[in-house]
Amino acid sequence: MQHLGTQKLETERLVLRKLTSDDAEAMYHKWASDPEVTEYLTWPPHGSLEVTRQLIGHWTEEYKKYDFYQWAIVPKELNAPVGTISVVDADDSVGMVHIGYCIGKAWWGKGYTTEAFGRLIRFFFEDVGLNRIETKHDTRNPGSGRVMEKCGLLYEGTTRQSDRNNQGICDSALYGIVRRDYYK
């Protein structure tokens, strides 16, 4: 495994890239301040544009690290970010990353999250050399599970009352894909 940091990646419809200070207004207005978008996330809606600016400033420093992965999801036709996808946890001892994502509700149902996640799977297995990619969702948010399934992750089980998000303590459905299954 060789960490490469947040690299610019592309798909047919998307550019996945680092966020910059120029993205703060788009991030704040398109998804970070929306309580419906953040309903099942672990961070609250941003209360001001300044909160978003500070977070992007923090990420700008983190981008200097090779084990930091945080992408803006940018549809090529818009040339502006509509969401983010990132590594929210990692365990180098087993070659694993845990992916989290969020996208503005105006772009729900367009396949952007699935397309972005699929591209990260390829990047992490083929370029970084990981062994496992996993993610989870609140069982009350089945749309997130559909993204995981479309990307080839397998449902591995539900743990009861094992996680916390903006709804409080919740049941969590875990999905994963391992290197040998990716290459089959």
Pick the CATH number of 9-130 from 3.40.50.2300, 3.40.630.30, 3.30.499.10, 3.40.50.720: 3.40.630.30
pLDDT bracket for residue 41 (50, 70, 90): very high
Domain segments of the chain: what residues? 9-130
Between the alpha carbon of residue 10 and those of residues 65, 100, 120, 156, 172, the distances in Å are 21, 18, 10, 29, 30
pLDDT at 81: 98
Predicted TM-score of the model (pTM): 0.97
> How far apart are the C-alpha atoms of 2 and 96, rounded to whole Å?
12
Question: pLDDT class for 16, splitting at 50, 70, 90?
Answer: very high
56 or 1: which leads in pLDDT: 56
Pick from 73, 43, 74: which is nearest to 58 by CA?
Answer: 43
Residue 147 is classified by DSSP as H
Q: Tell me what pLDDT residue 28 has.
A: 98
What's the full length of the chain, in residues?
Answer: 184
Q: Residue 61 in 3-state DSSP? A: helix
Share above pLDDT 90 across residues of the chain, in percent, rounded to a whole number: 99
Percent of the chain with pLDDT over 70: 100
Q: Is 52 exposed, middle or buried (0-12, 13-18, 19+ CB in 10 A)?
A: buried
**Taking residues 125-152, what's their average pLDDT?**
97
